């Protein structure tokens, strides 16, 4: 018995010594670690807001250190962040951070998280004149809070919370948000991260241009994925997936409801090639069920892919465009045409050089699938293009086009029964009640599309589908099974467009 007591006493003393030593070590390391984190955060904010005309910075206002805990106060400042239509965002808000020194912060011990860490940060937004309305909407609780634990090996475990918020105006509910939890597990340098987020509900109520009420309701929002940074700054590879259980929009004079269920966006990126400098990606968008005014409409899907996109060239072109973005935004706000982007000879040479480098990698872009499905039919479209580096950008347009696109393949397949389903839906929404007449008109709608396609020569009819296909390679075009030169194809399209022009 005495031996057991001695062992337990020795263990307790060992834990106490380890805890005290860890707390002392954390206290010594804390100022440098905070400054490193603030510097890194400001660098990331600067990159994110580059060429937007605004800035955001984090400052350490004070640090009060004790043996087992410390309290830090930060200032988060934003200046001239563009919100569109000439509006800018400016604020200066405070954040208080209660830091528990490792190796066993009490908040983690209470949650049965017994893995030793260097420190645990418990931060929340402070209340002031700027944030007071947000606090009020959150029931006088901190609208934003977070807990971040830093492991001795450099791992970072973050748990960020947005509090539930309710906002009313003139006694009417404007916003009702259930809150959001964001979990990010990664490394201290932001090189890799595992991300999980979820929010149960968001409701928005406002009026449209005709002063009719509009209600938007989102349910079951989730994000998940794993990302890692490449050797190229701000370029990440991995997967990130978003899902929304349903989206409901109530609008219009009749307050009809549009419901989208099973919305998904799945993104997958990789860096390929010997130097890992070629970006490939696959983006999928899905909606499993669409209804309108209580009537079933269908479902939709789109898949977009890219391959062999030269990352350094892409970044250089994006930086150039972002530098010109304020001009584009100003023209859009003033309702003017897009600017011509007059460039100096040096700037033009650089942009062309970056574009040539991008095309030298022979990038491939494709809409692998764009589909819409109803109860009785499905229509699809796909388009794939392979690009190449032309000998010169000063070539005549027809020659430049032949050299710029090395291969093109596209196909459109329109289901006649699907057209009939949509015609039936439109008739029912218009108040038609004669089932026999609706069925007859819907059947005629699909057949009419097929007849017009055949008469125009722009498509063929294959069973229940109206099909148009286009292939291009080696300077030759194959359109709906007929081979022709690019010039002949251009003349065919021009003649068909002329027929479609209104007469008079």
Query: Would you give the DSSP letter of residue 46?
Result: H
Q: What is the pLDDT of residue 7?
A: 33
Output the CA–CA distances (angstroms, integers) from residue 376 to 18, 186, 260, 469, in the order listed.
Answer: 70, 47, 19, 23
Q: What is the pLDDT of residue 84?
A: 61
Dihedral (C-alpha) 227, 385, 381, 242: value to the nearest 10 degrees? 10
Using DSSP's 3-state secondary structure scheme, residue 152 falls into: coil
CA distance 498 to 186: 59
Structure tokens at 165: 């918020």
Q: What is the pLDDT of residue 211?
A: 82
Q: What is the pLDDT of residue 23?
A: 44
Q: What is the pLDDT of residue 28?
A: 62
The count of other CB atoms within 10 Å of the CB of residue 435 is 11
CA distance 397 to 412: 26
What are 132-188's pLDDT values in tens digits?
A: 999 999 999 999 999 988 888 888 899 999 999 999 888 788 999 999 999 999 988
What are 209-218's pLDDT values in tens digits?
A: 788 899 999 9
Within 13 Å of residue 371, how many CA atoms lie on the same side as its CB? 15
Q: What is the pLDDT of residue 104?
A: 76
Structure tokens at 495: 């003649």
Q: What is the pLDDT of residue 132?
A: 92
CB contact at 8 A, 407 and 437: no
CB contact at 8 A, 162 and 143: yes
Q: What is the pLDDT of residue 183?
A: 95
Closest CA to 456 of 448, 464, 445: 448
> How much helix, strand and coil, in percent to the nearest 5, is found in the chain?
30, 45, 25
Q: SS3 string of 109-145? A: HHCCCCCCCCEEEEEEECCCCCCHHHHHHCCCCCCEE
Write the CB contacts of 215 (distance below 8 Å, at least 6 apart in sequence).
Answer: 203, 204, 205, 248, 249, 250, 251
With a cut of 70, list the residues of the chain below it in pLDDT: 1-28, 51-53, 83-86, 329, 332-333, 337-340, 497-504
Q: What is the pLDDT of residue 10?
A: 35
The count of other CB atoms within 10 Å of the CB of residue 95 is 19
CB contact at 8 A, 440 and 453: no
Residues forming beta bridges with residue 470, ordered by sequence position: 410, 479
Give how far the C-alpha of residue 206 lies from the chain's centroid of Cα atoms, to the nearest Å.
Answer: 24
Number of helical H runs and strand E runs in the chain: 9, 22
Concatenated DSSP letters of 233-269: TT-EEEEEEEEEEEEEEEETTTTEEEEEEEEEEEEEE
Q: What is the pLDDT of residue 501?
A: 58
Query: Is the whole model's pTM more than 0.75, yes or no?
Result: yes
């Amino acid at each position: 018995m005495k031996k057991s007591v001695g062992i337990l006493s020795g263990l307790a003393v060992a834990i106490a010594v380890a805890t005290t030593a860890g707390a002392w070590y954390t206290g010594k390391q804390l100022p440098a670690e905070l400054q490193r984190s603030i510097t890194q955060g400001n660098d990331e904010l600067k990159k994110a807001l580059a060429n937007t005309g605004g800035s955001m910075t984090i400052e350490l206002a004070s640090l009060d250190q004790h043996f087992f805990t410390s309290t830090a106060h930060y200032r988060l400042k934003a200046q001239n962040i563009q919100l569109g239509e000439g509006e800018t965002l400016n604020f200066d808000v405070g954040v208080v951070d209660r830091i528990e020194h490792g190796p066993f912060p009490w908040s983690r011990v209470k949650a049965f998280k017994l893995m030793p860490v260097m420190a645990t940060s418990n931060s929340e937004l402070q209340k002031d004149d700027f944030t007071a309305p947000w606090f009020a909407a959150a029931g006088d609780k901190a609208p934003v809070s977070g807990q971040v634990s830093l492991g001795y090996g450099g791992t970072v475990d973050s748990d960020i919370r947005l509090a539930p918020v309710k906002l009313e105006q003139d006694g009417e509910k404007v916003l009702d948000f259930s809150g959001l939890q964001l979990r990010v597990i990664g490394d201290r340098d932001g090189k890799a991260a595992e991300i999980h987020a979820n929010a149960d509900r968001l409701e928005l109520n406002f009026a449209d241009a005709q002063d009719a009420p509009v209600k938007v309701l989102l349910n079951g929002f989730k994000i998940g994925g794993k990302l890692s940074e490449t050797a190229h700054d701000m370029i990440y590879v991995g997967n990130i997936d978003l899902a929304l259980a349903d989206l409901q929009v109530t609008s219009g004079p009749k307050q009809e409801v549009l419901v989208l269920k099973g919305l998904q966006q799945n993104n997958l990126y990789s860096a390929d090639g010997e130097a890992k400098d070629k970006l490939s990606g696959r983006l999928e968008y899905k909606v499993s069920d669409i209804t309108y005014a209580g009537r079933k409409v269908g479902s939709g899907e789109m898949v977009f892919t890219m391959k062999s996109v030269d990352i350094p060239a892409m970044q250089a072109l994006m930086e150039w465009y972002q530098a010109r973005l304020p001009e584009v935004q100003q023209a859009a706000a003033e309702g003017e045409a897009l600017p011509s982007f007059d460039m100096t000879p040096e700037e033009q040479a650089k942009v062309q050089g970056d574009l040539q480098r991008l095309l030298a990698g022979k990038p491939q872009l494709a809409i692998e699938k764009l589909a819409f499905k109803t109860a009785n039919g499905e229509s699809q479209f796909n388009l794939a293009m392979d690009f190449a580096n032309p000998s010169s950008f000063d070539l005549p347009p027809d020659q430049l086009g032949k050299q710029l696109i090395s291969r093109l393949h596209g196909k459109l397949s329109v289901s006649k029964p699907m057209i009939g389903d949509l015609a039936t839906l439109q008739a029912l929404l218009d108040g038609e009640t004669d089932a026999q007449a609706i069925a007859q008109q819907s059947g005629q709608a699909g057949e009419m599309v097929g007849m017009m396609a055949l008469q125009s020569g722009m498509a063929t009819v294959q069973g229940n589908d109206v099909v148009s296909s286009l292939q291009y390679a080696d300077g030759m075009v194959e359109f709906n099974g007929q081979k022709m030169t690019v010039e002949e194809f251009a003349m065919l399209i021009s003649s068909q467009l002329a027929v479609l022009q209104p007469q008079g």
